[in-house]
Amino acid sequence: MCPQLQSKIPVAVLGATGMVGQRFIELLHDHPWFKLAGLAASDHHGGRPYAEAARWRIPDSEMPASVASLPVVACRPEALPDVKIVFSALPGDIAGDIELAFARAGVAVFSNAKNHRMGADVPLLIPEVNADHASAIIQQRKQRGWSGSIITNANCCATPLVMALKPLQKAFGLSKVLVTTMQAISGAGYPGLPAYDILDNVIPYIATEEEKLEIETRKMLGAWQEGQGFVDAPIVVSAHCNRVPTREGHLECVSIALEKDASPEEVIATWENYVPESQQLKLPSAPEHALIYRHEVDRPQTLRDRDAGDGMSVTLGRLRSCSILTHKFVVLGHNTIRGAAGGSVLNAELCVEKGLI
């Protein structure tokens, strides 16, 4: 148990019936610090039990028995009176206002939605990357006059990319990132893509994804300056996003320009020696290794590496020179765990551990 805690913190999931909502349930239903006390959905079925309101979609698990009888309530703070933290898996068209309502009501909102990610006082947080950004919520509370807070996690592609880049930025300086993604179908939620559109196909377009990848990367690799706000990292990012017929796992081919000379061995060593605060703190959802570098010539592979560290590790490989920028490599992350629900849960753990909420 976290030393800060006498008892488990009651938490709820907003958007509990969707794909990411179910990943939240999977990660929270027997969490050592959190007690999953409420479930809410936009289509809330008037409080019907979760087992009636939802079908379980995650193929490699069953609906946890402890949530089957939980009522699915409306996404309003009054409907979840005793909850201290909500995890939001709401879709972007409704997440914004609902999350604000919870924050105003004093709840800490850990959101996977895109709406508040770029907010001037909202942390876009990955513990392994920018744990110090979390303290922005102190200013957020002060400025907005609420006792709750909104903390977001990044787009499912941006997360593994930024985790790969952070140690290199720190060690060598980083000026350019050119990334091509090959993203799994689960990234589109449920029902997501019709099978007829993607079986035996690659679709070289995902709406707004390239833009998110570019701006979120700069914010996360930038600085939080007390009193001033977020300052983007001066990094140019260019993205090509593609959907491919895989179930889970976003694989990305990346070319980068580092500012200092760095041999391939030095880059790999930088990754292999990277032990960020979240791993030092031994947060419950932090994988033993945030980054895993595979030395085989053909790794990481989507199927083989997506579940590394229970889906919370990011796997790297094929680091070599790039004749146009300076280096190139491959990075893979599990999109609905590390890139979505798992990332949010880890963010909440960090904030609890730091006494921020």
DSSP state at residue 60 = T
CA neighbor of 118 nearest in space, from 102, 96, 146, 97: 96
Token pair of 332, please?
């893979």
Token pair of 350, please?
């960090």
CB of 12 to its own copies, least distance (A): 25
Per CB under 8 A, the list member of 111, 140, 255, 278 interacting with its own copies is: 255
196 lines the binding site for its own copies (CB under 8 A): yes
- Compute the distance between CA of residue 257 and CA of residue 299 in angstroms, rounded to an integer: 22
* Residue where the block lists tokens 């590790």: 313
CB of 210 to its own copies, least distance (A): 9
Token pair of 268, please?
């790999």
- Compute the distance between CA of residue 70 and CA of residue 50 in angstroms, rounded to an integer: 6
Nearer to its own copies, 53 or 330 (CB): 330
Nearer to its own copies, 31 or 304 (CB): 304
Per CB under 8 A, the list member of 96, 215, 301, 310 interacting with its own copies is: 301
147 lines the binding site for its own copies (CB under 8 A): no
In the chain, what is the greatest distance between 2 CA atoms, to the nearest angstrom?
Answer: 61
97 lines the binding site for its own copies (CB under 8 A): no
Task: Give the binding range for its own copies (CB under 8 A) out of 2-10, 43-51, 163-171, 293-301.
Answer: 293-301
Q: Give the CA-trace dihedral at 272, 353, 125, 345, to 10 degrees.
A: 90
Phi, psi angles (nearest 5°) of residue 195: -55, -35
Q: Is the link from the previous residue into 300 a cis peptide, with omega within 30 of 0? A: yes
191 lines the binding site for its own copies (CB under 8 A): yes
Per CB under 8 A, the list member of 120, 138, 195, 231 interacting with its own copies is: 195
Q: State the number of binding residues for its own copies (CB under 8 A).
A: 57
Nearer to its own copies, 57 or 104 (CB): 57
Binding characters for its own copies, 40-69, by CB under 8 A (x = yes): -----------------x-xx---------
CB of 278 to its own copies, least distance (A): 24
DSSP code string of 62-82: ---HHHHTSBEE-SSGGGSTT
- Which residues between 221 and 250 bind its own copies (CB under 8 A)? 236-238, 240, 242, 244-247
In a 3-state reduction of DSSP, which class is residue 4? coil
139 lines the binding site for its own copies (CB under 8 A): no
* Residue where the block lists tokens 């060690």: 171
Is 250 a catalytic site residue?
A: yes
Task: Give the binding range for its own copies (CB under 8 A) out of 158-166, 170-178, 215-223, 270-278.
Answer: 170-178
Binding characters for its own copies, 205-224, by CB under 8 A (x = yes): x--------x----------
Burial class (CB in 10 A: 0-12, 13-18, 19+), 117: buried
CB of 8 to its own copies, least distance (A): 28
CA neighbor of 166 nearest in space, from 131, 132, 129, 134: 129
- CB count within 10 Å of CB 72 equals 25
Positions annotated as catalytic residues are 156, 250
| Chain residues that interact with its own copies, rule: CB under 8 A | 19, 57, 59-60, 176-178, 180, 182, 185-186, 190-205, 214, 236-238, 240, 242, 244-247, 251, 253, 255, 297-304, 307, 317-318, 322-325, 328, 330
